[in-house]
Amino acid sequence: MDLFEKCRNYTVAREAMAAGLYPFFSEVESSLGTKAIIDGRKVIMIGSNNYLGLTTHPKVTQAAIEAIKKYGSGCTGSRFLNGNLDIHVELERRLAAFMHKQAALVFSTGFQTNLGGISTLVGRGDAVYIDREDHASIVEGTRLCFGKVYKFKHNDMEDLDRILRESDNNGGKLIAVDGVFSIGGDIVNLPDLVRVAKKYSSRILVDDAHAIGVIGKHGDGTASHFGLEDDVDLVMGTFSKSFASLGGFLAGEESVIHYLKHNCRTLIFSASMPPPAVAAALAALDIIENEPERRARLTDIYTRMKKEFDALGFDTGDSATAIIPIKIGENEATFRFWRALLDNGVYANTIITPAVPPGESLIRTSYMATHTDEELDQVLEVFEKVGKEFGLI
């Protein structure tokens, strides 16, 4: 059989394209602020992870420009060899302090961070325990590791306790979870997770990609949100959300970070973060630390939108952050709902199987601190109109 036969037989996406319902790879023709130009029309953007609205912040863009002038456009090598700039080291130092950890390590992408970190730490004789709704990068990291992999029911710490008890693993144990779940917007039950982890002498890794800049006393994520900074062993973060850049990091005990620096293949064999991305992340961190009013505004926005969507009759699940899902049902209905939103001037994201179970497809909305009240009013008006047309409310 020809290896490419499965590719030629893959028709689902082309069928959606032909029907005018294809919601992916949309060409964005303008900056990713609260408004964007898609298909030649201006729309309100509620499909971005630009939570603090920093991608166009003058301090962030200027920092990137200055870094290009000083260092050039890229490093042309890995951190391990020729690509370790002084600003990489500065960013790691700043992140370690911000996340209340001894050390931090910067990777080229967030996906590589989980992929490499988990697969490097969990070896033969070890075990890793993950939530069934963890991000794909965590899942792929467990597929590459040589340890045993166990999945527990979403945010169900009694199920985690049962699996840890029944697995009877004598090696090292790692529990890897999202802090804020990237599709549902709900927050991990970290207090109970910590209790279970201590009971079985397990280490904890929290993926705070969607939490940093959004929750926490200083925007410093899930552990800070619950006052459990000392109980989380490793914190993973990305720069492609609140940090308005690209890359990722792990923060934790110095000995663990030192080990990863010398053993993690996704770090050693990848070119390092380009200078403008590093400088942009540093500038964003300055803003996160010094402008708490942005986070306060974001909190007001997503609290309002959740309340308003619920009042209209939409099913928004257990969202408690800037990610608010609107549950639709079947894939085709979700495609059509997405198209109707776009036709009415609102761009959101379509989440379908296999990212969610069959029959649970949804529209993923997400918000920025820079959204205006007028824009939010318009979004709600469009959702009310489309929701009634589709018989959802």
Confidence label for 32 from pLDDT (cuts 50, 70 and 90)? confident
Domain contains 241: yes
Buried/exposed 309-318: b ≥16 CB within 10 Å, e otherwise: beebebebbe
Domain contains 95: yes
The answer to whether 366 is a known catalytic residue is no
Confidence label for 170 from pLDDT (cuts 50, 70 and 90)? confident
Are 255 and 226 within one domain?
yes
State the CATH number of the domain containing residue 318: 3.90.1150.10
Confidence label for 364 from pLDDT (cuts 50, 70 and 90)? very high
Q: How far is CA 224 from the centre of its chain?
A: 17
State the CATH number of the domain containing residue 232: 3.40.640.10
Are 206 and 305 within one domain?
no
By three-state DSSP, how is residue 373 classified? helix
> Are 90 and 361 within 8 A, CB to CB?
no
138 burial type by CB count under 10 A (0-12 exposed, 13-18 middle, 19+ buried): buried
Structure tokens belonging to residue 26: 């949309």
The answer to whether 327 is a known catalytic residue is no
By three-state DSSP, how is residue 364 classified? strand
Are 190 and 217 within one domain?
yes
Domain contains 6: no
Of 31-40, 217-226, 354-363, give the range with the top mean pLDDT: 217-226
Are 211 and 239 within one domain?
yes
> Of the listed 101, 173, 210, 306, which one is catalytic?
210
Tally the domains of the chain: 2
pLDDT value of position 316? 98
> Of the listed 101, 135, 225, 241, which one is catalytic?
241
Q: Is the pLDDT of residue 275 over 80?
A: yes
Are 270 and 304 within one domain?
no
**Chosen domain end from 239, 272, 290:** 290
**Chosen domain end from 237, 259, 290:** 290
Are 90 and 171 within one domain?
yes
> Are 322 and 185 within 8 A, CB to CB?
yes
Domain contains 278: yes
Provide, rounded to the nearest whole percent, the portion of the chain with pLDDT above 70. Answer: 100
Are 135 and 221 within one domain?
yes
Structure tokens belonging to residue 51: 């939570």
Mean pLDDT of the region 125-134: 97
The answer to whether 210 is a known catalytic residue is yes
Provide, rounded to the nearest whole percent, the portion of the chain with pLDDT above 90. Answer: 96
Are 213 and 283 within one domain?
yes
**Chosen domain end from 245, 272, 290:** 290
Are 305 and 229 within one domain?
no
Residue with tokens 């490793």: 234
pLDDT value of position 86? 98
Domain contains 5: no
Tell me the C-alpha distance between 30 and 279, whole Å: 22
Neighbouring residues of 200: CB distance < 8 A, sequence distance ≥ 6? 164, 165, 173
Q: What is the pLDDT of residues 294-329, one digit of tens each?
A: 999 999 999 999 999 999 999 999 999 999 999 999
pLDDT value of position 242? 98
Are 72 and 147 within one domain?
yes
Could you write out the three-class secondary structure of 271-304?
A: ECCCHHHHHHHHHHHHHHHHCHHHHHHHHHHHHH
Query: Which amino acid does the sequence have at 91?
Result: L
Are 257 and 161 within one domain?
yes
> Are 250 and 104 within 8 A, CB to CB?
yes
Q: Is the dihedral of CA 390, 357, 210, 347 positive or negative?
A: negative
Q: What is the reported pTM?
A: 0.96
Q: Is the pLDDT of residue 168 over 80?
A: no
Q: Which domain holds residue 250?
A: 58-290
Domain contains 1: no
Domain contains 120: yes
Domain contains 51: no
Tell me the C-alpha distance between 7 and 259, whole Å: 40
pLDDT value of position 91? 98
Are 73 and 159 within one domain?
yes
Mean pLDDT of the region 221-238: 98
Neighbouring residues of 143: CB distance < 8 A, sequence distance ≥ 6? 149
Tell me the C-alpha distance between 234 and 16, whole Å: 41
pLDDT value of position 354? 87
Rounded to the nearest 10 degrees, what angle do helices 254-263 and 110-121 cross at? 100
Q: What is the pLDDT of residues 16-30, one digit of tens each?
A: 999 999 999 999 998
Kindly write down the DSSP assignment for every residue of 315-335, as one continuous string: --TT--SSEEEEEEESHHHHH
Q: Which CA distances in Å does 234 have to 174, 238, 256, 263, 362? A: 10, 14, 9, 17, 31
> Of the listed 108, 119, 137, 182, which one is catalytic?
182
By three-state DSSP, how is residue 17 classified? helix
pLDDT value of position 166? 94
Q: Is the pLDDT of residue 39 over 90?
A: no
Query: Which amino acid does the sequence have at 302?
Result: Y
Strands lying side by side in the sheet with 323-329? 323-329, 361-366, 349-351
Structure tokens belonging to residue 328: 């639709």
